[in-house]
Structure 1
């Protein structure tokens, strides 16, 4: 599994001529890094007498960040599997009467995987707010890096959702998924920029 490889090996694979892992898997890794940095802020807050008032909240933040990190790591493999299904569908003989349907079904799956990843990234962004507001201020910069990583992952997911939607011929599916993506993105640039500037001002 890609998540069990060394970072160097994963990056070598990413840089290779192999189509997978690709941008979707990279987005999942960025999101997972954002979640891990939230976990770091929480870990460096719990157990310190000065932050006892937020101890329970930091434990909850730790647990949620760890859960999201694992789900985002799982999205690496999900993205690879979805892309492989798309490629397999396109490799079907052109005279196969099921080819068009197979391609469309695979494209829908390849849309839903990065869309699910985008949902997780929005959750990570939310956790970064809490980490920055209540966590140990000595690691406030890590909360900042975390929110930027999660935001980059979200925007990357949006690219992958959009490229697949543009090839899908089911108007209802396209409208529903595009609507959800727009809702996930709505106001997010401004939100992240505000948190980024807030963190910079406190450093």
Structure 2
């Protein structure tokens, strides 16, 4: 595939998409990778939930599986949306210094932060279902749950970092961080929620690590 072509998660093989990610173009970039990690976490959640349905009389596993399958599709779309935002972000910084460049950076930075914030919120919403599977899902799939937690953590960490970095990029257009916090309180608060989510995921994964990796205790 020509590296100059736009690739999407829906129209590319894994090989094509990761080859495009490996190029120094930024589209796809880390934000799109965050979306793919969320899709992987959702896919593993769906798999474990499917294996857990027979052990769950209340129907929770089936509901988790349905939500996870929907999240997988949404996460891939968000990954592609981020690739589009990345192109605008890069184009803004390539403009000649001046008011037009400053305005383009402001718009591109905020839009990129919003795209990553949506991804982060979807990742946060997925924690409860994976936590339920960690406690009540099929115990034979506990290693897959830990892998899912790892992918979900990567998605949360990626979203947190990208929102924070994009907000920080507003300084290139002459805006102070204090002004950024006042002008974009929801995005600022999103970073704090994502930071807390990282701590929660770490705690949940640590709680089942002895079951997933028993040789570590020897």
State the TM-score, normalizing by the size of structure 1. 0.88
Matches within 5 A, 1:136-151: 136-151=138-153
Q: Is the 8 A contact 1:24 1:114 kept in 2?
A: yes
Aligned-residue Cα RMSD (Å) equals: 1.8
Task: Report Cα offsets for 1:98-135 as digits up to 9, x if no partner.
Answer: 33222211110011111111111112222210111221
Q: CA deviation at 1:58?
A: 1.1
Once the two structures are TM-superposed, the CA of residue 177 in structure 1 deviates from its matched residue by 1.4
Q: Deviations over 1:144-202 (max 9, x none)?
A: 1111110111111111111111122253234431222102322x333222221222233
State the alpha-carbon separation in 2 of the partners of residues 62 and 105 from structure 1: 37
Cα 1:189–1:100 change in 2 (3 A) is closer
1:185 aligns with 2:195: yes
C-alpha contact (below 8 Å) 1:31/1:124 kept by paired residues: no
Matched, 1:196 2:205: yes
Partner Cα distance (1:202, 1:93) in 2: 57
Unpaired runs of 5+ residues, structure 1, are: none
Q: CA distance change for structure 1 residues 87 and 42 in 2, over 3 Å: closer, same or farther? A: same
2:37 to 17, 30, 36: 30
**Could you give the per-residue CA deviations for residues 26-77 of structure 1, whole angstroms, max 9, x where no partner exists?**
111111111111000111122x3xx1414x1111101111111111111111
Unaligned runs of 5+ in 2: 1-6, 213-218
Say whether residues 1:70 and 2:79 are aligned partners.
no
Q: Is the 8 A contact 2:28 2:86 kept in 1?
A: no
Report the equivalent of 1:160.
162
1:60 and 1:173 mapped to 2: Cα distance? 38
CA contact (8 A) 2:114 2:163 kept: yes
Shift of residue 89, structure 1, vs aligned partner = 2.7
**Equivalent-residue separation in structure 2 for 1:159 and 1:24 (angstroms):** 9
User: How many equivalent pairs are there?
Assistant: 197
Q: Is 1:84 the counterpart of 2:93 in the alignment?
A: no
